[in-house]
Chain A
Amino acid sequence: MTVEIDIRVQREAFEPGAELTRFSLQNSSSGAVCTFTGQMRDFRGPDRATGEPITAMELDHYPGMAERQLAELAADAKSRWPLDDLCIIHRFGKLIPTEPIVFVATASAHRGDAFAAAEFLMDWLKTKAPFWKKETTAKSAEWVSEAAADVERAQRWAR
């Protein structure tokens, strides 16, 4: 089956529910649809009680390379699992808390492949796709540092 790859890098907000509905309807032969939404949290730090509230976020990106890198990750996912379809949406620009940042959807015959491919896409996207977050609090605006946990998670998929 041909895998249509829907990849969008956009400034505009999107609605994950509407994207899921559209994605499901266009994959009527798939028994499994898995989605992941990454949304902007409203604090930074180890937990909400001790963390600092974040009022806004600016997402920098590398136009051209971002699309290209996501397409490469999508093709890699396709080569690893029998997917009927997949979709990746990633925002850039200004965001406010609870706004979706990233959306990944995978469709396959059975859930195992859909779950695994969605997790792989997110893990690799976090360490390879050229996006950078800058968080604004009441006191300052700071670039987010790379998380060691993200690097470890991505390494699980190395081959």
Chain B
Amino acid sequence: MNILYFAWVREKVGAAEETVSPPPTVGTLGQLIDWLAQRSPRHAAAFADRKLIRAAIDQVHSQINASVAGAKEVAFFPPVTGG
């Protein structure tokens, strides 16, 4: 599974992209965040305030309880501020 980070989430994690293989117990976006947050102190800092984290599964905005089963690309980012 390819994980992408954008804006300050990318800066806090210290990487734009990483490939991970979460265990089968990771079924939802929320569980994926819990698992990623344990990877390093930087990940933990990036995911510290979950209210500020938005996510997309295979480039579609997704809610925290969405399933990540079969997902190729999961992105994490702050609320969007374009336009």
Contact = CB atoms under 8 A, between A and B. Distances in A.
Given A62-B6, A65-B59, A130 B82 contact: yes
Given A60-B6, A132-B6, A132-B7, A65 B83 contact: no
Report, as a range, how many residues of chain A touch the other chain.
Answer: 20 to 34
Nearest to A36: B83
Main secondary structure of the interface of A (DSSP, over half): mixed
Interface string B26-39: 00000000000000
A134 to B, nearest CB: 7
B83 A38 contact: yes
B16 to A, nearest CB: 10
A86 interface: no
Contacts of B7: 60, 132, 134, 143
Contacts of A143: 7-8, 78, 81
A125 B61 CA distance: 13
A79 B8 CA distance: 35
A111 B9 CA distance: 41
A130 B81 contact: no
A122 B83 contact: yes
Contact of A101 (B10, B80, B83): B83
A146 B82 CA distance: 10
A62 B82 contact: no
A73 B4 CA distance: 23
Given A65-B75, A132-B6, A125 B83 contact: yes
Nearest to B10: A60
Given A64-B59, A68-B59, A122-B83, A130 B78 contact: no
Given A64-B59, A130-B56, 6 more contacts: A62-B59, A90-B82, A102-B83, A128-B61, A132-B7, A147-B81
What are the 3 tightest A-B residue pairs by CB atom distance, in nearest-first order? A131-B82, A146-B79, A132-B7
